Structure formats: structure tokens, C-alpha cells
Amino acid sequence: MTNLQNYTIGLVFYPGMTSLDILGPQQVFSGLPGVKIHRIWKTLDPVKTDDGMMVLPDTTFENCPRLDVICVGGGLEMLAIEDDPEILAFLREQGSTAKFITSVCGGSILLAKAGLLEGYRAATHWAAREQLAALGVEVGTERVVVDRNRITGGGVTAGIDFGLTIASILYGEETAKIVQLLLEYNPAPPFDTGSPEKAGPKLVNKAMLFMQQMPSLELAK
């Protein structure tokens, strides 16, 4: 019999991924009792994240066991990988048996391209909402969207809210509340510009220009 307290969680690590998308949830998950985390890529070679850090995958697509939770994030360089047949095949295959199919930020674009969001509502980074809608997905603008076993977070930092939501689903509210306390997740953002609705169109336009010039676009190469 499966011990329902033991979960195998797979995080897809790809070159150019936005590290916080995935490493926020990783920090939450790693605190949960009985969780085994796999950091998965095609090879075990170091992967450069979009903030220029080198991280080491520990599991290949080929060697990856069946996952209870599959999770993929976004990245500024997503165009380079969002049609990668190996990634999409891996997501599709694991998605066929995973208990929860999940993403943070632009990761929902990958889930959609793998055919895993047909008929589902999902969240994504605000700058990717149109692209996700164009893929036939009903876009939710909430921070975390739970639609049956699809759990998707908004942009980057939403991964923390997302991770705690999953912690609560897997281990119950009290455990999630404890992890939130241990991570001292009592946010006090210095500004009130965390969503396009709050930031307003002028700042959104500036942010789009800023994004195109971000040093991380170079660093990830």
C-alpha cells in the first residue's frame, strides 16, 4: 500500500529557466515530511538559470521515476524551449499518471503545449496571459489557480503562494501553516506595483521595454 504521506515531486530544470519560479516552491516542498524531490533535465550537466547561476540536475528524463507531482516553471528564454519535443514528451508522459500537474509563471505555456491544459483554467505570468489564451486555455488572473488536479501559479514570486497551496493539499492546513511560519512568509512588498492592474499601463509599458533589455537574457546564453 502506498503511504499517502510520501510524495515524489519532480521539478523540471532547463537552461534559461527563471530560478525563483522553481526554487521558491522547492524551498516549500523540501520542508515537507516524506517528500522526495527530483531536479530533472535531459542530462546531469549543469544548467544555467536566467539569473546566471549554475545548478545541477540530479535526475534525467530517462531515469525519472513516476512522479506524484510534476512542476515546470517559466523563463525569459522560453521561446527557445517551448516547442522542444523532448520536454513536451516528458511532460505528457509524466502527466498521464501524475496526481498533480503543476506550473509556475510561464510554465503553463509548456503544459498547454504538451496538451495538458485542455479544458482547464490556469494561471501564468501576466506578460504571458495572451499567449496562454491563444493556446485555448482559460486564463485565471488569480495568484494560484486550482482546477481539479491542475495547480498553476502566476509570475515568479507566485511560486511561494503556489507551493504553500500544494503543501496544504498534500499535507493539510496545519503543516502548510507551519511551513509558512518557518519561511517567515509575511510579505511586506516595498511598493504596490506587483500586478499590471496595480502598476497601471504606463509602468507596464516601461516594464515590457525593461524586460527586453534585461541582463539575464544575455546571462542565460
Q: Which of residues 22-81 bind a copy of itself (CB under 8 A)?
A: 23-24, 26-27, 29-35, 37, 39, 46, 50-56, 58
Active-site annotation holds for 105: yes
Site residue total, a copy of itself (CB under 8 A): 76
Closest approach, Cβ 43 to a copy of itself, in A, equals 14
Pairing of strands 121-122, 138-139: parallel
Q: Which is nearer to a copy of itself, 134 or 214 (CB)?
A: 214
Q: What is the DSSP letter of 72?
A: E
Closest approach, Cβ 187 to a copy of itself, in A, equals 4
Closest approach, Cβ 115 to a copy of itself, in A, equals 26
Q: Which of residues 124-143 bind a copy of itself (CB under 8 A)?
A: 125-126, 142-143
Among residues 2, 85, 118, 188, which is the contact residue for a copy of itself, using CB under 8 A?
188
CA distances, 194 to each of 124, 142, 164 (Å): 14, 13, 19
Q: Which of 9, 71, 78, 105 is catalytic?
A: 105
Cα-Cα-Cα-Cα torsion 208, 219, 41, 23, nearest 10 degrees, comes to: -70
CA distances, 119 to each of 4, 18, 82 (Å): 28, 27, 20
Q: Does 1 sit near a copy of itself (CB under 8 A)?
A: no
Q: Per-residue x/- mask for a copy of itself, residues 107 to 126, rule CB under 8 A? A: ------------------xx
- How far is 50 from 187, CA to CA, in rounded Å? 24
**CB 71, CB 38: distance < 8 Å:** no
